[in-house]
Amino acid sequence: MRFTRAWDNWGLAPDGWGSHVVMLWRDWEPSAGRYNTAGLERMLAARRRPCYVQIAFSLADRMARAPVDYTPRCHRRSLALQVGGKRGEVPDYGDPGWRRAYERAVAALAQACRGRPLVAGYWHAAGWNQETTAAAMVDGADWPAALRERLPMQAYLGFLEAGTLAALAAWEGHPVYLPAAPSPGGPWGVRARDLIARLLEQGARYMMCGLQPDNATATGIGERLGLGMTDIAGRAAGIGFEEGPLRDRSVMELYWMLLRARHWRADFVNLYAGTGSAGRAAEAIPLLPPEGSRWIVFRDAEHPPAVYTAADGKRYGYSGEPGCWGSGLALAGPLADGTRLHFRPEAMGSARWTLAAQAPVTLDAPGLPGGEHLAEVWYAGGGRCKLPVTVEDGRFKLPPGRYHRVVVAG
């Protein structure tokens, strides 16, 4: 799992990290059909690390507190919006000329990056609801609602589908991620959700935005109109994680976020300097289970798995995340009497989710060779130790105790 620094156009990421390199569309294409390859060269030359490149065209202006369209003037077909006396603009995603120009710009960037081993992937910003913060809620102003009045659903979904398929074709050989892939599930419900699922099956990769330290629900990325998205995320060939909007994260809050990403076997996690996470990562990363180890974090599911039936009769998985995070280890059967999983939402340390075991706990470790192993045990109080365990028939037992995490090498 790689770590990347968000908006790292000048190569400020720590050693060993990747960079998220963003070009505004108007800067990438200053005039029709002329692309700023020199600017791209300068940004890529500023680093000797894997880069995830992106064209951004619709962002929330921090000063105006409104969405701004960064389409080059020669291609601009903006939809003017007004909310609470503020004015903003968003591209007209339904305009055929705008769409063709955008697809050409994406293909030109792919061509410029071809043969560069340090270009690790492309983030295909779909531009509606926080993919590039096109029309996000800003200071309570509901820009998405204003946009829905001007832009038919089918026009946006058509852009999303055609644009993503064009990006997959242009970037053949590089993974294409959909930033904020779940977001279209909110404004327009299951039709956008179905489309995201189809695009994943076509080869797009899923990118979870709004990564929280431990979600209020067990759905994996929160709820979108009551629809959990983890069931379609599981169809993706790869997953990226991008940090959510919270600021001033503690080291242990970051630890819980990164555990989620490790559980989902994320390709990378993108962290923001403004939240303090990029700086605190040096403290949090060593707390994670080692790559390739078998591990489990004892964590209950706040909500049981369920099925949601939409108005069109389609059935969707809700929740779908395991009751315990882990890779290669799992609770074996029902918990013994007197053993309970506890959640303390106010805690950020190892006592946030714990297993209080008054009897031995049996863990599945399929494929782990039989015999003696050393398990690294993290206790609810924050201590840790090496504990010898005996694996028989792919299982081993832990003695009674209050556990946070167990890791077994190999």
**Main-chain dihedrals φ then ψ at residue 270, nearest 5 degrees:** -100, 120
The three-class DSSP label of residue 45 is: helix
- Higher per-residue confidence, 132 vs 171: 171
Domain of residue 270 covers 2-288
DSSP 184-197: THHHHHHHHHHHHH
Pair (194, 336) in one structural domain: no
Q: Residue 225: what are its φ and ψ, rounded to 5°? A: 50, 40
Q: 227 falls in which pLDDT band (50, 70, 90)?
A: very low
Which region, left, alpha or beta, applies to residue 71 given φ > 0 means left and ψ of -120 to 50 means alpha? beta
The 3-state secondary structure of 293-348 reads: CEEEECCCCCCCCEEEECCCCCEEEECCCCCCEEEECEECCCCCCCCEEEECCCCC
Answer yes or no: is 294 within a domain: no
Task: List strand residue ranges (DSSP E) for 124-278, in order.
Answer: 176-178, 205-211, 239-243, 268-271
C-alpha 42/C-alpha 23 separation (Å) is: 12
- Does residue 280 sit in the same domain as residue 332? no
Segment 172-198, tens digit of pLDDT: 999 999 876 544 344 455 566 678 788
Is residue 362 domain-shared with residue 247, that is, in the same domain? no
Residue 301 lies in a domain: no
Please tell me whether residues 7 and 153 are part of one structural domain: yes
Q: Which of 37, 2, 183 is nearest to 110 (CA)?
A: 37
Residue 143, domain member (yes or no): yes
pLDDT at residue number 314 = 65
Instruction: Say yes or no to pLDDT of 60 above 70.
Output: yes
Specify if 300 maps to a domain.
no
User: pLDDT at position 203, please?
Assistant: 94
Q: What is the pLDDT of residue 45?
A: 79
User: Residue 350 pLDDT more than 80?
Assistant: yes
Query: Does one domain contain both 136 and 186?
Result: yes
The predicted structure's pLDDT at residue 2: 94
Backbone angles phi, psi at 283, to 5 degrees: -85, -35
- Domain match, 350 and 249 both: no
DSSP 65-127: TEEEE-S-GGG--EEEEEETTEEEEEE-TT-HHHHHHHHHHHHHHHHHHTT-TTEEEEE----
The number of distinct structural domains making up the chain is 2
- Under a CB-based contact definition with an 8 Å cutoff, are residues 75 and 89 in contact? no
Based on the fold, state whether residues 217 and 328 are members of the same structural domain: no
Contact criterion met (CB below 8 Å) for 132 and 58: yes
| Residues 184, 281 within the same domain | yes
First to last CA, the chain: 17
How does pLDDT run across 9-28, given as a tens digit for each residue?
888 899 899 999 999 999 99
Q: Flag the least confident range among 15-24, 112-121, 235-244.
A: 235-244
Single pTM value for the model: 0.88
Final residue of a structural domain among 259, 288, 317: 288
Q: Is residue 299 part of a domain?
A: no
Is residue 237 within 8 A of residue 203, CB to CB? The reply is yes
Please check whether residue 254 lies inside any domain of the structure: yes
- The verdict on 199 and 347 lying in the same domain is no
Residues 140 and 277 in one domain: yes
Nearest to 77 by CA among 104, 105, 54, 96: 96
**Which of 261, 288, 315 marks a domain boundary?**
288
Q: What is the CATH number of the domain that holds 236?
A: 3.20.20.80
Domain-terminating residue out of 235, 257, 288: 288
| Residue 297 domain flag | no
Tally: H helices and E strands in the chain: 9, 24
Q: What is the pLDDT of residues 154-166, one digit of tens each?
A: 888 888 899 999 9
Check residue 277 and report its DSSP letter: H
Q: Does residue 63 sit in the same domain as residue 145?
A: yes
216 and 127 housed in the same domain: yes
Structural domain contains residue 296: no
How far, CA to CA in Å, does 81 sit from each of 87, 88, 126, 151? 6, 5, 19, 11
In tens, the pLDDT along 278-298 reads 888 999 999 999 988 999 998
